Amino acid sequence: MDIKERLSFFQEMVQCEYPLHLWHYSPEFELIETDCPAELMLPDIISMLGFSSLVLAHIESGNRMPLILDTEFGLLWIAGFEYQGFALQQIHIVGPAFTGSNSHLVLRKKLDSYQLTVKLRSKIVKQIESVPIIPSSVLLSYAIMFHCAITGERITADLISFTSHSTTGVPDDSPLLSGEHPGIWMAEQTFLSMIREGNPEYKKALAKSMTLSSGVKAEIGDSLRMSKNNLLVLLTLCSRAAIDGGLNPSIAYTLNDYYAGRIEECKTTADTTNLSREFLDDYVHRVRAAKETNAHSRQIQNICDYISLHIREPLSISLLSERLGYTEYYFSHKFKEVTGESVNAYIRRKKIEEAKLHKNQVLLKIKGIDDINEAEKYRGCFIKIPREKAKKLPKDTYFIADLIGLQVYTDSGELLGKVDDIYNSGSADIYVVKDELGKQILLPGIKDVIKQIDVDNEKIIVHLIDGLI
């Protein structure tokens, strides 16, 4: 294929999604041809914007990489350059596009600063209505494809240049306009590359970007809705990056649907922030796991993903083994070989999503309880675990439930009462012993005091040191 055929093919692909047009200019920036309909009059807008000088300055600098132009109207264009040896043959431009739903507002505000006739203003507004809104990451991908179509050369996003047009005497609309496109794009690409790698250091790349919004920032509207929209864009980008990184597409799309639903359930912007951390960690973990497993283990990993996504549903070894076409015995054996634990143990662990120590207390994150208001409903309740499923304890360690109600005797044979409660004071457990009259005795759970615990015979022997009672 020659350049003309490649550009035609490029345009056909792009126009399947967005109505972008091509302009072809001489090295002196004289229009050769365009496919843009005459009634849209977009070449006139190019002339009016006056960014030809910026394109020519880019060429004079010796830079042959694509150039993205962000104009004062909020319109974005991609310029590509055709060379034969050292001689520039043609300048190719594709566009225009917006990157945010607020762009029309920005445009109208900008038009107010020009002395335009009603007829010209109405024409421009009509033209603008045909301009598509394209996420910045997609536009950047188009720039890479555009350069490849022109030169046959494959490049990375960091090689693309960015130029912003500025005009003196125009009112400053900095709260409405985003001048951060280069940073956003570069941060996006670095960040998404780390998602594809399953790199846990992705948070550093994410922190470098002030926003991953696909649109122009605006101080209007519903901040929660804007936060949800931005998060949906980020989720979609992560899903695609995870697939590129080796995550099973069915898992990636299922996760995308799952988290998209949870995004819509967010009640505050804080909820969206917390949820973004959750699904980013989830995608990175899954991609990393996918890369570290072999082909056989990947089947087990897919079952682990299935368990996570269907944890609220009835799960059994027979159901899971059937999904892989394994016998129950072979599946159970392979699952433990890959994960290091039995199927049932894994399912139980996934039901309790997180357990950690905080100020000498155990904090549990329970599946399905995702905010503090929901958790408050269960204040004062107990988590019950069947005895047969309880963890095996080391020697001289006991479950509190097994100690409650035991008779407490001194080493001289005097009955003090029964164990009513046990709590942690920070330095040691405190045994709360109540006698028949309800009087409490507090005993520290140290070896000098607690001499013997006999669960089978339901008694505890203690030594009362001086000053204890």
The arithmetic mean of pLDDT across residues 331-354, rounded, is 81
Q: Is residue 245 part of a domain?
A: no
Task: Please state, for a pLDDT cut of 90, what percent of the chain lies above it.
Answer: 10
29 CB neighbour count, 10 Å cutoff: 15
Asked if the model's pLDDT at residue 221 lies above 50, the reply is no
Output the average pLDDT for the chain.
Answer: 76
Q: Round to whole Å and give the CA distance between 319 and 335.
A: 14
Same domain for 366 and 437, yes or no, is no
Q: Round to whole Å and give the CA distance between 178 and 301.
A: 42
Count Cα atoms within 13 angstroms, Cβ side, for 324.
23
Q: Is residue 304 part of a domain?
A: no
Q: Is residue 30 part of a domain?
A: yes
Same domain for 36 and 66, yes or no, is yes
Same domain for 404 and 380, yes or no, is no
CB 193 within 8 A of CB 154: no
Q: Round to whole Å and give the CA distance between 46 and 446.
A: 83
Q: Round to whole Å and give the CA distance between 429 and 415.
A: 21
Which two three-digit tokens encode residue 218?
A: 């605006």
Which one of 169, 197, 224 terminates a domain? 169
Chain segment 418-461, per-residue pLDDT in tens: 998 887 655 567 888 998 888 888 888 888 889 999 998 999 99
Same domain for 121 and 28, yes or no, is yes
Q: What's the confidence (pLDDT) of residue 419?
A: 93
Chain segment 15-44, per-residue pLDDT in tens: 888 888 888 989 988 888 888 776 555 444
Q: Is residue 210 part of a domain?
A: no
CA 286 to chain CA centroid, Å, is 12
The arithmetic mean of pLDDT across residues 379-385, rounded, is 74
Tell me which amino acid residue 279 is: F
Q: Round to whole Å and give the CA distance between 201 and 217.
A: 27
Same domain for 125 and 146, yes or no, is yes
Q: Which of 142-156, 321-335, 380-394, 414-428 has the lowest mean pLDDT?
A: 380-394
Q: Round to whole Å and give the CA distance between 258 and 361.
A: 32
Q: Using CA of residue 253, residue 258, residue 264, residue 269, what is the dihedral sign? A: negative
Q: Is residue 414 part of a domain?
A: yes
Same domain for 31 and 126, yes or no, is yes
Q: Round to whole Å and give the CA distance between 257 and 129.
A: 31
Bridge partner residues of 421 (DSSP) = 432
Q: Round to whole Å and give the CA distance between 22 and 13.
A: 13
Task: Please state, for a pLDDT cut of 70, what percent of the chain lies above it.
Answer: 72
Return the higher-pLDDT residue of 109 and 83: 83
Asked if the model's pLDDT at residue 291 lies above 70, the reply is yes
Domain count, the chain: 3
Q: Round to whole Å and give the CA distance between 291 and 243.
A: 11
Q: Round to whole Å and give the CA distance between 39 and 16.
A: 22
> 271 falls in which pLDDT band (50, 70, 90)?
confident
Tell me which amino acid residue 178 is: S
CATH number of the structural domain spanning residue 419: 2.30.30.240
Which one of 125, 141, 169 terminates a domain? 169
> 247 falls in which pLDDT band (50, 70, 90)?
confident
Q: Using CA of residue 158, residue 161, residue 162, residue 168, what is the dihedral sign? A: positive
> 466 falls in which pLDDT band (50, 70, 90)?
low
Q: What's the confidence (pLDDT) of residue 48?
A: 44
Can you give the residue range of the structural domain that contains 434? 400-462
Q: Is residue 405 part of a domain?
A: yes
Which two three-digit tokens encode residue 39?
A: 């009634």
Task: Return the SS3 of 78.
Answer: strand
Same domain for 358 and 440, yes or no, is no
Cα Dmax for the chain: 108
Report how far apart, in Å, the C-alpha atoms of 93 and of each of 8, 66, 181, 383, 412 are.
13, 10, 19, 65, 97
Same domain for 141 and 51, yes or no, is yes
Chain segment 181-206, per-residue pLDDT in tens: 444 555 566 777 788 888 877 776 66
Same domain for 371 and 405, yes or no, is no
Which one of 153, 169, 185 terminates a domain? 169
Same domain for 62 and 135, yes or no, is yes
Return the higher-pLDDT residue of 172 and 392: 392
Which two three-digit tokens encode residue 29?
A: 């920036």
Same domain for 23 and 118, yes or no, is yes
Please give the radius of gyration of the chain, using alpha carbons only, rounded to the nearest integer: 33
3-state secondary structure 416-437: EEEEEEEEECCCCEEEEEECCC
82 CB neighbour count, 10 Å cutoff: 17
75 CB neighbour count, 10 Å cutoff: 25
Q: What's the confidence (pLDDT) of residue 467?
A: 56
Same domain for 96 and 161, yes or no, is yes
Q: What's the confidence (pLDDT) of residue 405?
A: 92
CB 96 within 8 A of CB 75: yes
Q: What are phi and psi of 124, to 5 degrees?
A: -65, -45
Asked if the model's pLDDT at residue 381 lies above 70, the reply is yes
Q: Is residue 84 part of a domain?
A: yes
Q: Is residue 195 part of a domain?
A: no
